[in-house]
Amino acid sequence: MSTFSFAEATEWRCAACDQPLQPAKVKVTYLNAVFNVELMVCPACDFILVPENLAMGKMLEVEQLLEDK
């Protein structure tokens, strides 16, 4: 399965660890579907940044597809 990269340079930092975020492969699961995506992640605590445009765009469309709406 291919990995979809949504990692892009950002000024956001992990507030708990005060670390800059790094691109990392993340497994996104919803209902019975699994997708490999690359997102910005805190290297210390694995906090994941999901950009709003991704959450409200592609992810929302995938959710609606999987929910059969």
Partner 1 sequence: MWAHRVSEKRIVQPLYEREELAAITGGPLRPGGLELTGKLLHHSGLAPGATVLDLGCGSGFSLELLIRVYRLVAVGIDPSPLLLAQAGRRAPQATLLQATAQALPCIDGSFAGVVCECVLSLTGDVHLVIREMHRVLRSGGVLLLSDVYAHEKGRFSTSPRATSCVNSTVTLAMMTQALRAANFELLHFWECTDMLKQLAGQIIFDYGSLAAFWNVILGQATGQCTHDCTRTGVKLGYYALVAQKR
Q: Position 30: which residue type?
A: Y
Q: Pick from 11, 19, 33, 44: which binds partner 1 (CB under 8 A)?
A: 33
| Shortest CB 15 distance to partner 1, Å | 28
Number of neighbours of residue 31 by Cβ within 10 angstroms: 9
> Would you state the torsion angle of the CA atoms of residues 54, 58, 64, 66, taken in this order, to the nearest 10 degrees?
-110
Instruction: Tell me the site size for partner 1, rule CB under 8 A.
Output: 16
Rank residues 4 and 47 by Cβ distance to partner 1 and give the closer one: 4
CA distance 16 to 13: 9
Interface ranges with partner 1 (CB under 8 A): 1-2, 4, 31-35, 37, 57-58, 61-62, 65-66, 68
